[in-house]
Amino acid sequence: MTDRLPVPLDKAYRLMNHGPTVLVSARHGDAVNVMAAAWSMPLDFAPPKVAVVLDKSTLTRTMVEASGEFALMVPSRELAQLTLQVGSTSGREVDKFAAFGAGYWTGEQTGAPLLDGCLAWLECRLLPEPHIQDTYDLFLGQVVAAWADPAVFRDGHWVTTDGGPKSIHYVAGGHFFELGEAFEASAQLPEPSNNAG
Amino acid sequence: MTDRLPVPLDKAYRLMNHGPTVLVSARHGDAVNVMAAAWSMPLDFAPPKVAVVLDKSTLTRTMVEASGEFALMVPSRELAQLTLQVGSTSGREVDKFAAFGAGYWTGEQTGAPLLDGCLAWLECRLLPEPHIQDTYDLFLGQVVAAWADPAVFRDGHWVTTDGGPKSIHYVAGGHFFELGEAFEASAQLPEPSNNAG
C-alpha cells in the first residue's frame, strides 16, 4: 500500500502549483484507465478546481465524460518511464495497469483508480463545460479529495530533499526535467497570487 | 537589450510544457502592466494555444479584455524577487516597470510589453470565451509569436546547464522551486502526448 495522508482541500492547489506533469485516471463501470498529461493547472483555491487537456482520441476522456469523475496524480522520477508508457498506449488496446504492472487503490470520493507510488493524488468531479470540452479539449474539475505521500508533502508544504523523490516536468520526445532546489524569495510585500496585478 | 531569437510556432508549447511560473503582460493605449501567474499551461500544439488564470481584480485582465492581446513570459531565478513584486502590487497603484526598474521591449505581433531578462516570451491574441472568463477567470489565447534566450533554448530544445539560468516554479508564501536536472526516459514506444490514453 502506498503511504498517503489526506491533504486539506484549501491546500490542494499546492500539489500542482509548481507545474508538474500529471497522470489522469478514470473509471467507468468495471473499466479503469490512466494516461499522462503535461497540460494541467490549478484553477482556484477554495473550493479547489483544476483544468486539464484531454485529447478527443483518449479512452480516459470518454470515461471522464461518462462518469463525471477523474483523478490527477503527481508521479515521481521513479515513475517517468511508466508516465511515458501510459502516455503512449491506448486503454482501448491494453489494460495499462496490468500491462505495466501498476497497482492502484480506489478513490474515497470518486471511483477513480489512484496509482501506487505517486507523490500526490487529487480526486475530482467534472465541472461540465461542453463548449470548451468540444472546442479546446479542455476539462475542468472540482477537487473533492486530495492525498499526498507524507515523505514529500506534509502540513501543507512540500518537504523534498536532495536525494529524495521529486516531481517531473515533461518537455517533449522523452525529455524531462526533475524538480530542483527549493528557495525562498521576498518581495518585502504581501505574498503574490493570481489576484494581484 | 535582451538576447533573443524567434522560436518556430510549432515548438512554442515547449517553452511552457514543463510548467514554469510565468509573468503576464498587456498594453492598453499608452499604459502597460505586468503580473505573475502560477496558473498557466499550453492548450494546443499548432496553432499553439495557451490558457492562463487572471483574477477579476487585476489591471492586467482589464487590459487583456480591452486590447485582445497579452504576453506570457518565463522568468529565471534571477527574476524571482521581481516575480513576487509584480505579483503582489497592483498596476492601478504603481507603474510596476518604473517602480521595480524593469525594462521591456514591445512585441512584434502584439503591443504587449516583453520584460527584459526572461528566458522566453510568448505573444498571444485572446480567444474570447466570455463564459469561462467570467465564471472561472480562465483566459485562452493563440500564440502569434514566440521568442527565447538562445543561451537556454535553441533549435527547439531547452539547453539548461548546471549553473545556468533556470525557470522557477512557485508553490506559496514566497516558496519556489528551481527547475532541476534534465533526464531522458524511454517507453520503448512512440512518444507520449495528451492525445494518447
Identify all chain B residues contacting A182, using CB atoms and an 8 Å cutoff. Answer: 175-178
**Cα–Cα distance list, B185 to A25, A71, A184, B73, B157 (Å):** 21, 24, 30, 28, 16
The pLDDT of residue A194 is 66
Tens-place pLDDT, residues B80-110: 999 999 999 999 999 999 999 999 999 999 9
- Give CA–CA dist A160/A179, Å, rounded: 9
Q: Torsions phi, psi of A79, nearest 5?
A: -105, 15
Where does the pLDDT of residue A91 fall: very low under 50, low under 70, confident under 90, or very high at 90 and above? Answer: very high
**What's residue A161's pLDDT?**
84
Q: Is the Cβ of A194 closer than 8 Å to some Cβ of chain B?
A: yes
Q: pLDDT category, A162, cuts 50, 70, 90?
A: confident
- 3 state SS for chain A: CCCCEECCHHHHHHHCCCCCCEEEEEEECCEEEEEEECCEEEEEECCEEEEEECCCCCHHHHHHHHHCEEEEEECEHHHHHHHHHHHCCCCCCCCHHHHCCCCEEECCCCCCEEECCCCEEEEEEEECCHHHHHHHCEEEEEEEEEEECCCCEECCEECCCCCCCCEEEEEECCEEEEEEEEEECCCCCCCCCCCCC
Residue A34 contacts residue A59 (beta carbons within 8 Å): no
Q: In the predicted model, what is the mean pLDDT of chain A?
A: 94
Just give the CATH number of B5-178: 2.30.110.10
**A104 lies within 8 A of chain B by CB:** no
Q: Which residue from A20, A169, A194 is facing B37, i.e. has the nearest CB?
A: A194
Give the pLDDT of residue A197: 64
Tens digit of each residue's pLDDT (9 = 90 or more) over B42-67: 999 999 999 999 999 999 999 999 99
- Nearest-5° Cα angle at B19, B78 to B96: 45
Pairwise CA distance, residues A160 & A163, whole Å: 8
% of chain A with per-residue pLDDT over 90: 90
**Percent of chain A residues topping a pLDDT of 70:** 94
Check residue B38 and give its pLDDT.
97
Rounded to the nearest angstrom, the minimum Cα separation between A148 and chain B is 15
Is the Cβ–Cβ distance between A141 and A85 less than 8 Å?
A: no
Taking 60 as the threshold, does the pLDDT of residue A1 lie above it? no
CB A176 within 8 A of CB A170: yes
Give the tens place of pLDDT for each residue, A48-82. Answer: 999 999 999 999 999 999 999 999 999 999 999 99
CA quadruple B25, B28, B30, B35: dihedral, nearest 10:
-20
What integer best gives the mean pLDDT of chain B? Answer: 94
Q: Are the C-beta atoms of residues A57 and B47 closer than 8 Å to each other?
A: no
Q: How far apart are CA B99 and CA B181, in angstroms?
A: 35
**Is the predicted pLDDT of residue B190 greater than 60, yes or no?**
no
Least confident piece of the model among A10-14, B122-126, B157-161 = B157-161
- The residues in A 126-165 lying below 8 A from B, measured between CB atoms, are 129, 131-132, 136-138, 140, 157-158, 160
